[in-house]
A and B are shown apart, each in its own frame.
Chain A
């Protein structure tokens, strides 16, 4: 079965780097995602990585994938107050016959920014 695990809280100082970690169990996952959810809002697709990649960088965001350990991390450089949100790790399985399938989400990590 599929399971995605994350720590529930992370507290960092403004200007420091934040590293949010995630472990998953489905070795056949194709894409792994990071979504951001601010209070009262929907999910914003932050970045994603294909399962045959090790790293992806996009401005302040760096995603690292260790497929052997089934470990995914999101690093946010120079963390700002606007980064305060819940960050969900998610995986998608290879598609079923219909061509689309739901995502399996972790419980979400609440990123708290200290001034």
Chain B
């Protein structure tokens, strides 16, 4: 069982819809991440939050809007998506690095998103 919970597990939406993906962790981690994974490919980093502040945006289109309302929650707001945005969206969390040492990331099971 994963300690990072993502909802919904599956989402089908039209190109004009607005929806949100949610991620929750109760491990006390203060770094949270969004990754996108296309079929048969490795995950690709989208956003990183550290202490609830956005620290990395990997040039993601503005139709994806992340939000970190508190240290346990991470949202990804979706609007006007394109068919090529269909993918598995993975959330991860970790402790924030100390003394220059990155910390292991723990992943949720993902939300499988299909854009019609």
When the two chains form the complex, which single residue of A30, A41, A93, A103 contacts B105, counting CB atoms closer than 8 Å?
A: A103
- Number of residues from B at the complex interface, CB < 8 A: 36
Dominant SS at the B interface? strand
Contact across chains for B102 and A41 when beta carbons are under 8 A apart: no
B contacts, CB < 8 Å to A? 2, 6, 31, 33, 35, 41-43, 45, 48-51, 53, 55-56, 58, 88, 90, 92, 94, 96-98, 100-110, 112
When the two chains form the complex, which single residue of B42, B50, B109 contacts A105, counting CB atoms closer than 8 Å?
A: B42
| B residues less than 8 Å from A106 (CB atoms) | 42
Cα A92 to Cα B110 in complex, Å, equals 21
- Stretch touching chain B among A43-51, A55-63, A73-81: A43-51
Q: Assess A45 versus B109: contact at CB under 8 Å? Given A102-B48, A102-B56.
A: no
Contact across chains for B110 and A42 when beta carbons are under 8 A apart: yes
Q: Assess A95 versus B42: contact at CB under 8 Å? Given A42-B109, A102-B58.
A: no
| B residues less than 8 Å from A35 (CB atoms) | 107
Contact across chains for B58 and A100 when beta carbons are under 8 A apart: no
Give the Cβ gap from A111 to chain B, nearest Cβ, in Å. Answer: 15
Contact across chains for A42 and B48 when beta carbons are under 8 A apart: no
A/B interface sample: 30 pairs, CB < 8 A: A30-B100, A31-B103, A35-B107, A40-B112, A41-B109, A42-B88, A42-B109, A43-B43, A45-B104, A48-B104, A88-B43, A92-B105, A95-B100, A96-B56, A98-B48, A98-B56, A99-B31, A99-B98, A100-B31, A100-B48, A100-B97, A100-B102, A101-B56, A101-B97, A102-B33, A102-B45, A102-B56, A102-B58, A105-B43, A108-B42
Cα A95 to Cα B53 in complex, Å, equals 16
Cα A31 to Cα B55 in complex, Å, equals 20
| B residues less than 8 Å from A93 (CB atoms) | 102
Contact across chains for B97 and A95 when beta carbons are under 8 A apart: yes
Contact across chains for B90 and A42 when beta carbons are under 8 A apart: yes
Contact across chains for B102 and A94 when beta carbons are under 8 A apart: yes
Name the CB-closest residue of A to B2. Answer: A42
| B residues less than 8 Å from A95 (CB atoms) | 97, 100-102
| B residues less than 8 Å from A33 (CB atoms) | 104-105
Contact across chains for B107 and A101 when beta carbons are under 8 A apart: no
